[in-house]
Amino acid sequence: MKGRPAVLAVFVTCLAVPAAAQKVRLTPHIGFYIPTERLYDLASGSQGDDFQLEAGPSFGARLGMWFGNRFGMEVGGSYVPTTFLLGGGGSPVSQDAKLFIGSAQMVLFLLPPSGPLSVFLTGGLAAVSRGGVAFTNETTTTNLGGVFGAGAGLNLGPISLTAGADLVTYKADYRGSYATTQQLSQKDINLKLGFGIPFGGGGGGGGRGGAGR
């Protein structure tokens, strides 16, 4: 997928962090990605009310690093296989579309992860890459933006079950055949459910550790 270096750049700020972290957890997660804006401008450079990126499942993992009971950091990525629906005046036609969402976020615990129930807020940087047939002719396939989330975690001994949601906001670029750059503001919701497990001797017990948001 084009623009992969920009996605990897999201994680650069976290390379030196694990050594100082008190807890480290790895969390595979599943979820559901819900686009809230139409993306037809990106696929064809024109406007239309019958064209949209459809919601789809998301699969990924996150690495969480916690510094005490109130603050932490996590990096992660989600892969979203979905379709791009073209309506028009005839029968709807679906085209293959794929999204990859990478993020680096700070975590603030409203209820500390040392207890049986934790509540948290998150915020940081996101990179969204698009691919598949629907975006084959798109010049720019990766855009940076912000991500904000909230959720809760339930401690189950060394394993934590967490759930929540992220709001991913970014401006998607499209450059048409006449080199006219267009931008479409996206605000998408990513629902997540995950199991966090201790990683690399990062300690057990409570902790959101890569919690699904």
20 in a domain, yes or no?
no
pLDDT of amino acid 87: 60
Number of domains in the chain: 1
Q: Rounded distance, CA 101 to CA 65, Å?
A: 19
Q: Report residue 179's pLDDT band, with 50, 70 and 90 as the boundaries.
A: very low
Q: Rounded distance, CA 149 to CA 72, Å?
A: 14
How large a percentage of the chain has pLDDT more than 70?
Answer: 65
207 in a domain, yes or no?
no
137 in a domain, yes or no?
yes
Please tell me which residue, 135 or 10, carries the higher pLDDT value. Answer: 135
Residues 62 and 72: beta-carbon distance below 8 Å = no
Q: Rounded distance, CA 64 to CA 90, Å?
A: 48
Please tell me which residue, 206 or 185, carries the higher pLDDT value. Answer: 185
Please tell me which residue, 174 or 128, carries the higher pLDDT value. Answer: 128
106 in a domain, yes or no?
yes
Sign of CA dihedral 71, 76, 81, 87: positive
Residue 6 phi/psi, 5-degree rounding, is -70, -35
211 in a domain, yes or no?
no
Which of 25, 6, 60, 35 minimizes the C-alpha distance to 158? 25
The CATH number of whichever domain residue 82 belongs to comes to 2.40.160.20
15 in a domain, yes or no?
no
125 in a domain, yes or no?
yes
């990126």: which residue's tokens? 53
Q: Report residue 213's pLDDT band, with 50, 70 and 90 as the boundaries.
A: very low
The helix/strand/coil state of 114 is: coil
| Start-to-end Cα distance in the chain | 25
47 in a domain, yes or no?
yes
Range of the domain at 123: 26-198
Please, what is the average pLDDT of the chain? 76
